[in-house]
Amino acid sequence: MASGARDKNNKPKKVITITSKADFDKTIEEAGNKHVLVEFFATWCGPCAIIGPQLEVMANEYEDCLLVLKIDVDDNEELAMQYDINSMPSFLIIKDKVTLEQFVGSNAEKVQTTLQKFCGKPEDKKAIKPGTSAKPAEKPPMKLMSMLKAVTPAIMKPDSSKPADKK
């Protein structure tokens, strides 16, 4: 399934290169609750080569909710035919073995927008980490009191519409 490929910083790559239909079926089965972004590409396809590094970045950004797969159409014709792939790069979003969306083109912004549609924005997920609170660590009471004083209207006399004199 996943090759032991490493990026330029010697970190394991997150994008999984699929080598066979059996490999694809097993990966989709094991995806669990995650969405799967599938890129159908060809080694001779210039736009595919351009978007490749951006897919690696997206795979890292969305690692908690997404698997990213690459399938070479020349090596996996059966899968390309199964998904009616006629142009490269072509993308699928799959969840629970169901294709939710399919689109064509090496537009990284379109891929990002589609991922956000299904997975949310990565910065939203990083803002609140599991086991932490969204509340600030400290709440200085004096600051809160001065804010309340600033927005609280002056106390009115019971029998007058004029503010009470300060004593």
Catalytic residue among 48, 67, 80, 111: 48
| Contact assessment for residue 42 and residue 73, using Cβ atoms and an 8 Å cutoff | yes
| Residue of 55, 95, 58, 90 lying closest to 73 (CA atoms) | 90
Rounded (5°) CA angle 90-43-101: 10
Catalytic residue among 15, 36, 45, 85: 45
Residue with tokens 């064509």: 104
User: 114-125 burial string, b = 16+ CB within 10 Å, else e?
Assistant: bbeeebeebeeb
Give Rg (Cα) of the chain: 26
| Residue of 5, 25, 42 lying closest to 94 (CA atoms) | 25
Q: Is 65 a residue of the active site? A: no
Residues 82 and 102: their CA atoms lie apart, in Å, by 13
Catalytic residues: 45, 48
